[in-house]
Amino acid sequence: MVVKCSDDTGAEFRMGKFGVKWKIVKIKIGDIDRKLSWNNHARMSCPRSQEIIDRQIEDKKDGAIFPRIVVFELSSGFVLPDGKKLAQGFRYTIAGGNHRVDSDIELGVTEEEAHVVSTDNLEVIDILPRILHLDHGRSEPRDEVIAAALH
Mean pLDDT of 91-116: 94
* 51 or 145, higher pLDDT: 51
The phi and psi torsions of 144 (rounded to 5 degrees) equal: -75, -35
3 state DSSP class of 85? strand
25, burial (CB in 10 Å: exposed 0-12, middle 13-18, buried 19+): middle
130-147 pLDDT, tens digit per residue, is 888 776 555 555 565 566
- What's this model's pTM, rounded to 2 decimal places? 0.83
Question: Is the pLDDT score of 102 beyond 60?
Answer: yes
Mean pLDDT of 27-52: 80
Q: What's the chain's average pLDDT? A: 84
pLDDT at 45: 57
